Chains A and B, each alone.
Chain A
Amino acid sequence: MARITAGIGSSHVPAIGAALDGGRTAHPDWAPIFAGYEWTRRWVAEQKPDVVILVYNDHASAFSLDIVPTFALGCADSFAPADEGWGPRRVPVVQGHSKLAWHIATSVVLDEFDLTIMNEMNVDHGLTVPLSLVLGQPTEWPVKVIPLAVNVIQYPTPTANRCFRLGEAIARAVKSYPEDLNVQVWGTGGMSHQLSGERAGLINREWDTKFLDQLTSDPEALRTMSHEEYVREAGSEGMELIMWLTMRGAIGPRIRELYRFYHVPASNTAVGNVVFTPEP
């Protein structure tokens, strides 16, 4: 049987990918971030997951505003890094897991989560930067990845609660998959940041800290939080944090927080990383 063995929360700031790709990891702006991910990098290497279900958002790369799926699940065999205007990141092509992805799609749609099935999709920094942060710079990614793209750009975005409940439905789907697979769920984006308007550059360290505390001990508070409150407190792009709730929903009610890292800034953004394991 497939098992969800861990949940990871991670930011996906594009400038981190650019720093890594450009060989600037030792620069004082970036060194603390890579050092902060070292624990997670070593831990995941030991855990050797077979598949990562990676919850992220596309930033006008694979999706224009012509079609706006609320939840889009990558069912293809592979996903190429997207050209975001500077040429694609020189990272390996992401290998998917079609059979598990289709199993999840089938299970959650029958469970009344009407997601979109993607058989062709490029993936941007939202997906590849967390892979780089946690897996480093290998010639091939050591894990298969099922991308789950969430719309957090065009309102109405899904509610935090809907993201959480989709995570619970994904957990039910994974548990019913017959092959023995070690599966992790990663929720990405955030933490507090805002790219536009007079509040550009907003960082709310106090709120971010509370978010991380509640993600561990009181996800109920985060599930019921309104869109307005997320934007008010975490900035317009802080809305991405609802994707961490899909991860939290997927790992079950009882969890252990193994690791936490928080740093300001990466370019315009507060960076967060947490590692959870489910408890019996």
Chain B
Amino acid sequence: MTTAAFDDIPGTYVFTADRAIEGRHLNRFCMSLMSAVNRCRFKADERAYLDEWSMSEAQKQAVMKRDFKALLELGGNIFFVLKIAAVDGRPTQSVAASFAGQSSEEYAAMMRSGGRNPVGIRSISGRF
């Protein structure tokens, strides 16, 4: 299954084989943060810790900038990159809000009033 099969759905990352190949080492790095020892080492010197993994420079920069959109574009899987947010003590909802360019408060208010309306953001080709 290629990424193209899902390209008609706007604003959505599906973790396909293509993305898994590109993100292999990025996601391995993220999983390493499950260990408290590794979290300490990462926090002490992010660059040095990242250099232990065969990640691209763009992936390392995206980690250091906490650019979650870029991390997904570079093959990160959402459940793995969220481990970086966990290191910072940052809630999932704050990361979700950042993808849509919303503040946490705006996003939480949107969710309380029923969530993001799906009308018009389901199919690019079908315009519905």
Contacts and interface: CB of A to CB of B under 8 A. Distances in A.
A binds B: yes
Interface of A: 14-15, 29, 59-61, 64-66, 83-86, 153-156, 192, 194-205, 207, 227-228, 231-233, 235-236, 264-265, 267-268, 270
Interface in B85-128: 86-87, 92-93, 95-97, 99-101, 107, 110-112, 114-116, 118, 121-123
B6 interface: yes
Given A202-B118, A265-B115, A194 B12 contact: yes
Contacts of A227: 1, 5
Given A85-B34, A155-B15, A192-B118, 6 more contacts: A196-B72, A198-B99, A201-B111, A233-B118, A233-B122, A270-B115
A268 B118 contact: no
A203 B114 CA distance: 7
A209 to B, nearest CB: 13
A169 B109 CA distance: 44
Given A60-B80, A196-B78, A236-B14, A203 B86 contact: no
Interface residues of B, number: 51
A154 B15 contact: yes
26 contacts: A60-B77, A64-B27, A64-B28, A64-B31, A84-B86, A154-B77, A155-B16, A156-B17, A195-B78, A195-B82, A196-B99, A197-B100, A200-B107, A201-B97, A201-B107, A201-B110, A202-B115, A205-B114, A205-B115, A227-B1, A231-B12, A232-B8, A233-B118, A236-B13, A265-B114, A267-B92
Scoring A199, A205, A270 by chain B CB atoms within 10 A of each residue's CB, the highest score goes to A199
B58 to A, nearest CB: 18
B92 A201 contact: no
Choose among A194, A227, A228, A265 the residue with the greatest number of B CB atoms under 10 Å from its CB: A194
Interface of B: 1, 5-6, 8-17, 20, 24, 27-28, 30-31, 33-34, 68-69, 72, 77-80, 82-83, 86-87, 92-93, 95-97, 99-101, 107, 110-112, 114-116, 118, 121-123
Contacts of A204: 118
A264 B117 CA distance: 12
Contacts of B116: 194, 199-203
B21 to A, nearest CB: 11
Contact of A268 (B24, B87, B96): B96
A207 B118 contact: yes
A265 B111 contact: yes
B-side binding surface: helix, strand, loop or mixed?
helix
Contacts of A270: 115
A204 B12 CA distance: 15
Please give me the 9 A-B residue pairs with the lowest Cβ-Cβ distance, nearest first. A203-B115, A198-B11, A85-B86, A199-B11, A60-B79, A201-B116, A200-B96, A265-B111, A64-B31
Nearest to B72: A196
Given A155-B1, A196-B13, A228-B5, A85 B83 contact: yes
B93 A267 contact: yes
Would you call the interface of chain A mostly helix, strand, loop, or mixed?
loop
B19 to A, nearest CB: 8
A86 B97 CA distance: 21
A84 B83 CA distance: 9
Given A83-B34, A85-B83, A270-B115, A197 B77 contact: no
B77 A267 contact: no
A155 B17 contact: yes
B100 A268 contact: no
A199 B122 CA distance: 9
B100 A200 contact: yes
Given A83-B34, A202-B116, A268-B111, A236 B12 contact: yes
